């Protein structure tokens, strides 16, 4: 079962990636994972490890807080 935390963070990843005009393949290549794994992150099917999140933040040039904005509301709605 997908956790609302992973769904929220994954959706933010997808928004950020598309805003950066980067494909899943391109981001995956930069992170050392395949495009399917990026899709799994974006849909909340797989959690993002802290180490990978650090690399995502660096590759997409966004502050870590970007991924957590609106999280409290998302979790409240899921309860």
pTM above 0.75, yes or no: yes
Residue ranges covered by each domain of the chain: 4-78
Q: pLDDT tens digit string along 30-78?
A: 999 999 999 999 999 999 999 999 999 999 999 999 999 999 988 887 7
DSSP string spanning 1-67?
---HHHHHHHHHHHHHHHHTT--HHHHHHHHTS-HHHHHHHHHTSSPPPHHHHHHHHHHHT--GGGG
74 CB burial (10 A radius; 0-12, 13-18, 19+)? middle
Assign residue 69 a region (left: φ > 0; alpha: ψ between -120 and 50; beta: otherwise).
beta
CATH superfamily ID and name for 4-78: lambda repressor-like DNA-binding domains (1.10.260.40)
């Amino acid at each position: 079962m997908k956790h609302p935390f992973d769904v929220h963070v994954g959706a933010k990843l997808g928004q950020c990636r598309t805003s950066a005009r980067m494909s899943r393949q391109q981001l995956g290549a930069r992170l050392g994972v395949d495009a399917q794994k990026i899709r799994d992150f974006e849909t909340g099917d797989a959690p993002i490890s802290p180490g990978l999140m650090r690399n995502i933040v660096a590759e997409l040039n966004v502050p870590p807080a970007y991924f957590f904005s609106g999280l409290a509301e998302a979790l409240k709605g899921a309860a």
